[in-house]
Amino acid sequence: MFYTARMRINKRILALSMGNHELYMRRRRPDSIEVQQMKAQTKDERLARQAERSAERSHVKELCLFSICMKYENKDLVTNFFYRMSI
């Protein structure tokens, strides 16, 4: 508890404490249904983006492997590459 000689400062400290408590209680409240739906949608979108990036990375790796095979004219690796791409 705070106590000062001036009443105005006491009121400001009390208002500050009450506002802080209100924010604390708001953070502890469970999310509403709308907020839960928005969080779920955001999570789904983030997972979809990660899956897309992963697929792009694997495709780039395969293209790099193909270009290396072509550079060294490794026929077995090139045919293997095209076989895997057709599956």
**Residue indicated by tokens 């790796």:** 61
Q: What is the pTM of this model?
A: 0.49
- Residue 79 pLDDT: 65
**Residue indicated by tokens 């001036």:** 6
- Residue 60 pLDDT: 78
**Separation between Cα atoms, residue 49 and residue 72, nearest integer Å:** 35
Tens digit of each residue's pLDDT, the chain (87 residues): 667 788 888 899 999 999 999 999 999 999 899 999 999 999 999 999 999 988 888 877 777 776 766 666 666 666 666 666 665
Which whole-number Å values give the CA distances from 44 to 7, 21, 30, 40, in the listed order?
Answer: 53, 34, 21, 6
Q: Which two tokens stand for residue 22?
A: 């209100």
**Residue indicated by tokens 């072509």:** 70
